[in-house]
Chains A and B, each alone.
Chain A
């Protein structure tokens, strides 16, 4: 069985899928957390808190779109 199945590629796939799948869902969760808390802080007049969560949401959004761009690159780079 091990001779038929390329266990090295399978291992890389499992690791890559875990990192990408859990990474994307966690990062997008931070986008929502940061933006919701940003809105709450701004409403309460807490400028420092609003800036902190605004930066968090922006950075997470950048990472999220970066991962989407990486996904598009993977699609076009098949060989």
Chain B
């Protein structure tokens, strides 16, 4: 009975994480298109939502384990996964509140690492895996996207710099629709898979799914729906930061930031290198600004974003570890996860209800 309740809670929490992942990362695909008016805000999030949904069905590969290669897989329990998800959700919500783009994948890994550490001690965490799959990619992704976008915008201005701005801007706005679509589709193939992997892991742990089996259709559909719904709702605070607070961009910069970003992500997919779409998208925007003029980038905003990236892993780990500790207060059964889920839900309903009542919710129109 207890294991069934925990399973239901983990599935619901994983879908909640998937939703926050969607609305947190909407900005990666749509911020530049909205900023340069290539797409209206509502059209941009609708396109991104549909393509994230479709993307979830494209790739056949599903992550078999959470934080594979970073924590000892055989030591991971459903309670650890639950605590890791709470850590990731908390960090996603905190960074959304401050309008800071940060990696949902790194938040999830941080949450699971913190919970595993709290549960099993240091031997549960693989330091080499953390360096290889989190720290090095966190350095490579933004730097690579920055340099590629900076060179890209220099070349683009060389080619079209003497032309009339009207047709040039119209052309780049059309190009942005294509690059935003690629970005969204790519995001769906990568990020919805994580939630499918988490739910599949919980189903395997509870004996409802054979190890190595494909996830059931309801898992695929629900993960795709959750990420698409989150994308459609849109994390407008982050969209505003990425679209207009880092640089004030023209359509050429918007296209180059997205085009370079999509190329870096697809190259990383091809070579099997795990890069965060958020780090790549942010690096691309900064590069497209710096390639035009270094002072075009608001380095204070960029610094805040980098600080959020640095804090993602330890902050999500701290919440994940603390959540695991709290669940243990209520014993080993389902009571701990149940109490924590209900508390979090009440808190969220309170916060969002208050904001909506005050009419201060940020929306596509806001």
A-side residues, CB < 8 A to B, are 1, 4-6, 9-10, 12-14, 16-18, 20-26, 28-33, 35-37, 39, 64, 68, 71-72, 74-76, 78-79
Contacts and interface: CB of A to CB of B under 8 A. Distances in A.
A32 B167 contact: yes
16 contacts: A4-B136, A13-B271, A16-B271, A17-B144, A21-B260, A26-B152, A26-B155, A26-B156, A28-B172, A28-B255, A32-B168, A33-B163, A35-B171, A36-B168, A78-B189, A78-B269
B293 interface: no
A28 B167 contact: no
A77 B163 CA distance: 39
A20 B262 CA distance: 9
Contact of B55 (A21, A24, A75): A75
Given A29-B156, A76-B59, A16 B267 contact: yes
B267 A25 contact: no
A20 B147 CA distance: 13
B155 A22 contact: yes
Contacts of A33: 159-160, 163
Interface string B187-227: 00100000000000000000000000000000000000000
Contacts of A37: 163
Contacts of B147: 18
B263 A17 contact: yes
B259 A28 contact: yes
Contact of B260 (A25, A39, A64): A25
B61 A29 contact: no
B256 interface: yes
Contacts of A76: 58-59
Nearest to B182: A71
B182 A68 contact: yes
Given A25-B155, A25-B256, A79-B61, A74 B131 contact: no
Nearest to A35: B171
B123 interface: no
Interface in B125-171: 128, 131-132, 136, 140, 144-145, 147-149, 151-153, 155-156, 158-160, 163-164, 167-168, 171
Contacts of A25: 152-153, 155-156, 255-256, 259-260
B80 interface: no
B58 A14 contact: no
A23 B26 CA distance: 26
A31 B167 CA distance: 11
Contacts of A74: 266, 269-270
Most buried by A among B155, B178, B260, B271: B271
